[in-house]
Amino acid sequence: MPYLLASELPVEPAGARFRALLDAPGILRLPGAHNGMAALQAKAAGFDALYLSGAAMTASMGLPDLGIITVNEVAFFIRQLARAGGLPILVDGDTGYGEALNVMHMVRVFEDAGAGAVHLEDQLLPKKCGHLNDKKLATPQEMAAKVAAAVKARRDLVIIARTDAAASEGLEGAIARARLYVEAGADAIFPEALTTVEMFRAFRAALPEVKLLANMTEFGRTPTLTADEFEQLGYDMVIWPVSSLRVANRVQKELYTALARDGATTALIERMQTRKELYETIGLSEFEGLDATIAASVAPEWQSS
């Protein structure tokens, strides 16, 4: 049922629900959802929580992932996902949009928008995708101060510290940073852009009691592993950050190419979500049922010529 019904809204805050999923047995699978429709489809597929990627948000806006967007723009996406799917969301908080006070503001805005968790990274602006070269890092102490500030500001939000240090400081440098971030209050660690299974295994061995997140992004530096394989390596969460947007963008490009070529969408009809499927996914009839003054909508019968 739609989020308009108070009786259908979750009783527990999103942070508490995310934490319960994280503490449950097995690896927490977090598919990227770049808008409300993706959130609905992921929920229908059986997922219990979602990931909101900064790269997916900026790309969907036609922008690069360089820390350009603002706290309020991200909150718009968080509200979309939270309202549509009702699931707890891990949100990409980039560098926290500034220093300690800015980080605290981000935490308050994201939590109020419906986020269940956020991760902060130890890069400096302009930040880059974690799988690109020449990333500039904050000092470990500067990042630890941001983590501590985030912990002070949150009510229930799960705070995850991401380190991009493996590429420039080696595995030992990334591990040393992670330990400092845990001391500052981080609930979990996200070691970004590890390049071998052995690195994932060594990171886990070095931090045996810490919750760890793995990033299974396509076309990056990390080898392709399944959720089960990450679980066997001892990881507690795995994200697929931009997968939904990559697939949607590829098919959308095919649509525009065909439309420009043919002057019609016929070539892509079989790959489209039908009107009936759309209405079922967004729960049109349930929304209409909340107001008896609205006549029930019936999708027209449609056949390709």
> Which three-class secondary structure string do you get for 31-99?
EECCCHHHHHHHHHCCCCCEEECHHHHHHHCCCCCCCCCCHHHHHHHHHHHHHHHCCCEEEECCCCCCC
Given the residues 17, 94, 177, 231, select the one marked as catalytic: 94
Q: What is the pLDDT of residue 185?
A: 98
For helices 197-206 and 166-183, give the axis angle rounded to 10 degrees: 30
Residue 92 is a catalytic residue:
yes
Residue 65 is a catalytic residue:
yes
Given the residues 19, 119, 154, 246, select the one marked as catalytic: 119
Residue 215 is a catalytic residue:
yes
Residue 97 is a catalytic residue:
no
Residue 249 is a catalytic residue:
no
Given the residues 17, 34, 97, 121, select the one marked as catalytic: 121
Residue 293 buriedness (CB in 10 A; 0-12 / 13-18 / 19+) = exposed
Given the residues 17, 29, 34, 92, select the one marked as catalytic: 92
Residue 119 is a catalytic residue:
yes
Given the residues 19, 35, 97, 129, select the one marked as catalytic: 129
Given the residues 29, 51, 122, 181, select the one marked as catalytic: 51
Q: What is the pLDDT of residue 298?
A: 80
Q: What is the pLDDT of residue 129?
A: 65
Given the residues 162, 177, 204, 246, select the one marked as catalytic: 162
Residue 129 is a catalytic residue:
yes
Q: In what order do the strands lie in the sheet with 188-191?
A: 28-31, 237-240, 211-215, 188-191, 158-163, 117-121, 89-92, 50-52
Q: What is the pLDDT of residue 128?
A: 59
Q: What is the pLDDT of residue 3?
A: 81
Q: What is the pLDDT of residue 131?
A: 63
For residues 221-257, b (16+ Cβ closer than 10 Å) or e, as one string? bbeebebebbbebbbbbbbbbbbbbbebeeeeeeeee
Q: What is the pLDDT of residue 2?
A: 63
Given the residues 19, 65, 122, 246, select the one marked as catalytic: 65
Given the residues 111, 122, 187, 192, select the one marked as catalytic: 192
Report the chain's terminal Cα–Cα distance, integer Å.
36
Residue ranges of the chain with per-residue pLDDT less than 50: none
8 A C-beta contact, residue 200 and residue 230: yes
Given the residues 19, 111, 215, 236, select the one marked as catalytic: 215
